[in-house]
Each structure stands twice: as C-alpha cells, then as structure tokens.
Structure 1
C-alpha cells in the first residue's frame, strides 16, 4: 500500500483524477464520439496505471492467474491509445469516420490477440514477470512485450502526428495543452522504441543491452506526466478563468451599488421581480436595472450625456444628480430618450466599464 501512495504515484493519481473528472463533465454536457473517446482514453490510462501497482496486480493475478494483470495492463494501454486515435479521427473526418474507425480496431484486435497467445505460451514461472535479462530470451515473453510495444509505438506516433497537425488551427488557449500532450506522447514513443530495440537485440541477436531498457523508463514516465498535464490543462485553465470571472462580477456588482441605489430610489419599477440566482445572474441583473433606470431618466439629461460618461465621469455624475433632483421635483422634461452610454458598445460587458466609472464618481460625490 505504501508503494501505491508514493509521492510520484500521488501526483499521477491527482492528475488522473482531475483529468477524468473534467472529461466526465464534458461528456455529460456533450455526449459526442470525440468526447467519449477522450474520456475512454483517460480512463484506460488511469486503470492501466493502477494495475501497474504491485498491491493491485498481485490481487488480480491471484484471482485470474499469473500474468493476468500484465495482460490487462497492456490491453488497457492499447485500448486507451486506440480511443485517442479515434478521437482525432472523429474530430477530423466527420461523417466519413465510421469506416476509418473500424479500420483502427483491426490492429488493436491483432495486438490484443498476440499478447494473450504469447502469455499463454509463456512458461508459468515466467508469466507476469517484468521485462529484464532473466526473461528476455524466452520467446513468449519477448513476443508479448514486443507486440504490446509495437502497437504502443504506432498509436503514440499517430496521435502525436494528429496533435501537431491540429496545432496549426487550434485556438490559442488550447495550444499549450496540445503542445504538452504532443511532447508527452512523443517522449513515451521514444521510450517505447528504446524498449522495442532492447527486446529485438536481446531476443534475436543475444546481447542484453541494459542501457536501452534503462533509457526507456524515464521517457515513458515523463511522457505520461506531460500527456496528463496536457489533457488536464484546458479544464484547469477554464476553471481558473471561471473563478476569476466570478470574483470580478462579485466585485463589480458591489462597485455598481452607489449608482444602482440612486436610480432605484427614483424608479423603483426598474427592479426585476424574479429573484436572481447565482453570482453572474445577480451581476447582469444589476447592470440591466441600471441601464433601464438611466433610460427612464434620460429625458432630463443632455443629448451628449453618453459621451460625457466616457470622457468625464465626474461631470456625468454631476449631471446625473441634477437630473435626479429635477425628476424628484416633478419638473417637466423634453420627453425624448437620450443616449445614456457611449456609442459603440456591442455587449453588456462593454457597458459595464463606463457604468463603473460613473458609479465611482457618484460614490465620491456623495
């Protein structure tokens, strides 16, 4: 149990959990083939990672027979990579993807069959044992690890190529995650190539070149971490942006209070009846009510009030107070609605900036 919760494993568990939670959330929002494929990919890698831990692999071997955990681990890795390839195919080929997806299942099925047959043909005392000098010269062990490795190399190289191709048209905010993912997959591919070379050299020619196996391990570990970081990055970035936007809306909602208060006092009817829920709705509701109040007061304002708000908020605050006093006194107005915000604002967020300045001026003047 201590091996499972080592510092490195804990980092991997956190990354896997974050990535899987984010992908499940995406599937619930849009259950499309690409979303399902990426979710299956992350789930497969996570399950394979857990099966690599002795505390779990020993239990699987005890239940299903020696070597079962090793087969399951490599099958999960192959399925996860196949799901990732299907994700890129589903995103790139559109309606033409079904036949291409079926084609991708053929090498996966061949690799899985080869791994199962090789494990069955492996002597019982060698089944499930790791790749190393004491096992590499057995044909069953060599074929098992070589078959698994060749499919991993194919899937990793294919996915890296797809990511590099997609980088050219990806959104700027998505490119960081894609680059991390591509580098991670490329590192894992390099590590798998080193391992395949180790197997071929030892099994076919005899010499055991340990450095090839030793070089492969760090590439695979670092590659897996980078890939997980790349998959997790868009979700983490989106969540951080959402939290920042939430804090900004709460802060600006409070900053608009002085302006909103005087307008509601003059025009109580601008307050919407339906109680708002959530920070964002409360914020947008306040902006809408302020704009409605300014429009109702606009017959008492000068025609250039919208431009004054943009250029001189203090002067606009003085004009607004004068207009409120005239309205409260029941004076006659010209009856014409005026432009109350600077021209050119094309969304509600653009309207907020001058309103914040006007509210601050109102608060200072008060």
Structure 2
C-alpha cells in the first residue's frame, strides 16, 4: 500500500465519524447557522470522497474520468466555501455575514462554471487521451479557488481563535495549521499543473510534496473542527465517571442513614441492589440525590451525636448514634454540625461525606 492510499484511508477513517458527530450536534441545535456550515463542510468532504474513488483517485496532473472528477472538485470547492461561511457567521453579525457570504459565492460560482465548461467540451475519449490544455485549465481553476479559499480560512481561523473559548481556540489553531499546510499544498499543485502544461518534467520532490501536504492538511482540518465537541464530551465523561465513583463510595454512609430514616428518601421506588450496582443511567441524578439524602440523614442523627460528646472517631460515634436511634432512645434537644467541609463548594462537601462513608466501611470490616 503506497503513501497516497494509506493517507486516503486514514482520511476516510477520521472523516466519517467526525461527520456523524457533527450531524448529532446539529440535531441538538438545529438553528445554529455556524454549526450548519461546519456540518455542510464535512458533508462536502465526505461526499467528494467516493467521487474521488470513481475518478480513479488520481494525482494531479493525471486526469481521471471527467464527470466524477467534476463532482469531486465541485464538492471540494463547496467545502472551502462553507468553511469561509462558518467563520463569517461565527464572528460577524448575521446581516454582515450574509453579505460577505454572497461575495464569497462569486469566485465559487466562477470556478464551477469554468470546470463545468471544460467538462462539457471534453471529447468522449479515455482520460489518458484528454487534451492537455483542457485538463490543465480544469485543475488550475480548481486549485486556484481552493488555495484562495484555504488561505482565507486560515486567516479567519487565526483571527477568530483570539476571542474564542479555550477549547474552540485550540481546535481552530489546529485547523489553521491544516489550512496553512493546505494552502502550501495548493500552491505546489498549481506549480505541478503549470510545469506539466509547459511540457517539462515534473520534479519528483514536487510530486511528493503534494501528497504529504494536501492529505495531512485535510486530516488536521477534520481534527481541528471536531476537537471542541469531542473535548466537551470527554470532559462530560470525566465528570460522569467521577459522579459514578462518588455515588458508590457514598454507599456505606447512605445505606446506614437510609435504614434509619427511610422516609427521607427522595425516590419512592424501591432500590434494587444489583440494578443500582450495574446501572449506568441517570448517574448525575442519582449522585445528587444520594448526596442530599446523606446530608439530610446526618442532620437528623446529629442530636444523638451531640449527646455522645467528642470521644472516639466520628464513624464510631455515628454507629453508636444510629444504634441509639434504633433503640428509640429519647431524642436530645440540640444537634451539632457533622462532617463540615473546609470549603463552600459541593465537591468539598462530597469529599467529607466520602471520607465518613469510607470510615464506616473500614469500621464495619
């Protein structure tokens, strides 16, 4: 497998999952114009992929069947145009962005018209017998527009990244590197076509440069545009995992308090131990509910703790207080603060509750 095919396969493996991810995000915010544009960008990229295969996956300046080649390059030009629109609608007021989008459509339309005219005028012969001038004009038109669009997108990305959120800024910077490499790759493609049209031998280094610039730039583009959403989901997954762990670590404390005060449960559905241990759904809801129920239970048992004094560990005193409650000993009049955190945040509170819960687990063992 040569380098061209390898990079093409890698490009496809990254591209299609990224497109599916953007479509999913679009269903969550269907009125977000910028998200529509970035999804359309990846959709154009994905749609150009099979047309490139139909055209023989050729390297410039070699021609493939002209019709699939036309559709491939129209979609690639659409990719660049939607990229420009993504930045315009992200950074400018809607009315100004629309005006700029119409202006950007002028060179796009001109490039498509020239490529379509070349396609219509191309004789019905095998690709290797196509007129050199026709093939050169076709490729030059596409390459000039793509290089212009990619260079513009690079400038847009760098400018927009300055005022963006950290995750979006990192994604845009990665994408801008891809744009910069792609613009250089586009310039090398223009040079290849011009050298070929002039009838001179194309330097081997120039041919290799087109492969190792254009394809990696496409990969960086997909990664950069997908990074903010993926990073957000990774962060959400990290919080989900932390809540799941804390939920189960609070189990010993919650179980003892729930046995003493079942009426304080926020849910009236009986808890199935196996389902509770294995379920991965509703983690955040169950986590917050368990924290609240633990704190409520400690408030209820605190008068018994205050009556016992400060001798012994909190876990031992809590166990004794729960036994006193179970024996229906007279309830003391005043309570006391229990397991107070050092800070004011929920995480500080949960850490204290988890420490107490694990002390109970150790004492029971």
**TM-score, L = length of structure 2:** 0.82
Matches of 1:18 and 1:110, distance apart in 2: 32
Match of 1:18 in 2: 17
Match of 1:198 in 2: 192
Q: Does the 8 Å contact 2:243/2:284 carry over to 1? A: yes
Matches of 1:165 and 1:55, distance apart in 2: 36
The aligned runs of 1:126-137 (5 Å cut-off) are: none
SS in 1 for 2:89: helix
Match of 2:202 in 1: 209
The aligned runs of 1:60-71 (5 Å cut-off) are: 66-71=65-70
Bigger shift: 78-87 or 159-168? 159-168
Match of 1:62 in 2: none
The aligned runs of 1:346-361 (5 Å cut-off) are: 346-347=345-346, 349-361=347-359
Match of 1:166 in 2: 160
Matches of 2:354 and 2:163, distance apart in 1: 37
Q: Does the 8 Å contact 1:84/1:159 carry over to 2? A: yes
The aligned runs of 1:213-292 (5 Å cut-off) are: 213-273=207-267, 275=269, 278-292=282-296
Unaligned runs of 5+ in 2: 59-63, 272-280
Matches of 2:55 and 2:73, distance apart in 1: 17
Q: Does the 8 Å contact 1:296/1:337 carry over to 2? A: no
Unaligned runs of 5+ in 1: 59-64, 309-313
The aligned runs of 1:309-348 (5 Å cut-off) are: 315-328=313-326, 329-335=328-334, 338=337, 341-342=340-341, 344-347=343-346
CA deviations over 1:259-290 (Å, ceiling 9, x no partner) = 00111111111212255952222222211211
Bigger shift: 189-198 or 21-30? 189-198
Identify if the C-alpha distance between structure 1 residues 272 and 363 changes in structure 2 by more than 3 Å, giving closer, same or farther: same
1:83 shift after superposition: 0.7
1:236 shift after superposition: 3.8
Matches of 2:268 and 2:331, distance apart in 1: 32
Match of 1:84 in 2: 83
Q: Does the 8 Å contact 1:299/1:338 carry over to 2? A: no
CA deviations over 1:157-208 (Å, ceiling 9, x no partner) = 11111222233333333444333322222211111101112333444x5534
CA deviations over 1:123-182 (Å, ceiling 9, x no partner) = 4337x66xxxx86x7332222111111110111111111222233333333444333322
Identify if the C-alpha distance between structure 1 residues 361 and 188 changes in structure 2 by more than 3 Å, giving closer, same or farther: same
Question: More relative contact order in 1 or in 2 (CA 8 Å, sep 6+)?
Answer: 2
1:247 shift after superposition: 3.3
1:302 shift after superposition: 4.7
**TM-score, L = length of structure 1:** 0.82
Matches of 1:107 and 1:300, distance apart in 2: 80
Q: Does the 8 Å contact 1:298/1:340 carry over to 2? A: no
The aligned runs of 1:169-184 (5 Å cut-off) are: 169-184=163-178
The aligned runs of 1:82-121 (5 Å cut-off) are: 82-95=81-94, 96-121=96-121
Matches of 2:121 and 2:191, distance apart in 1: 22
SS in 1 for 2:93: helix
1:293 equivalent to 2:292? Answer no
**CA RMSD between the two structures:** 3.2
Match of 2:274 in 1: none
Match of 2:275 in 1: none
